[in-house]
Amino acid sequence: MIFGEPERKRPSKTTKDLLYLKQKGKCNYCGKKMDIRYFHVDHKTPIARNGADTPANSQLLCAPCNNRKGNMTDGEFRRAYRLTPVRKAKSPPSREIPQSRFDRITKERQKRRRKQRQAESLW
């Protein structure tokens, strides 16, 4: 346990199975269909940002989407990557979204951040 962070429990097999059925075996962001063992259980609102460690705050993501999401909330990730807003997203996308789309948006975001840092350093 890291000092200051709440202790996390590994999600139960039942929780993961229920999420898998609810999401129809698809990643909640890109819609990739996979076997249950390849999914990561992710918190919609990260524990580090006062999210609850409950099934209601959990979702299944493929490894690339989970790594990309990092410490963002579900809403922040959806806005950043131009996905269906949280209020309207009842299930994973019906068609798989290619990882190349996410990669392109990630590069655009990094470029924007670099420009902002350069502009701030000029002040």
| Structural domains present in the chain | 13-122 (1.10.30)
CA distance 102 to 99: 5
The pLDDT of residue 40: 96
DSSP run (H or E) holding 60: strand 58-61
Please identify which residue in the block is written with the tokens 């039942």. Answer: 14
The pLDDT of residue 72: 97
The pLDDT of residue 111: 96
With vertex at residue 59, the alpha carbon angle to CA 57 and CA 101, rounded to the nearest 5 degrees, is 125
- Token pair for 20: 């898998």
pTM for this one?
Answer: 0.86
The pLDDT of residue 120: 86
The pLDDT of residue 57: 95
- Residue pLDDT tens, the chain, 123 long: 556 666 667 888 999 999 999 999 999 999 999 999 999 999 999 999 999 999 999 999 999 999 999 999 999 999 999 999 988 988 999 999 999 999 999 999 999 999 999 888 877
The pLDDT of residue 2: 58
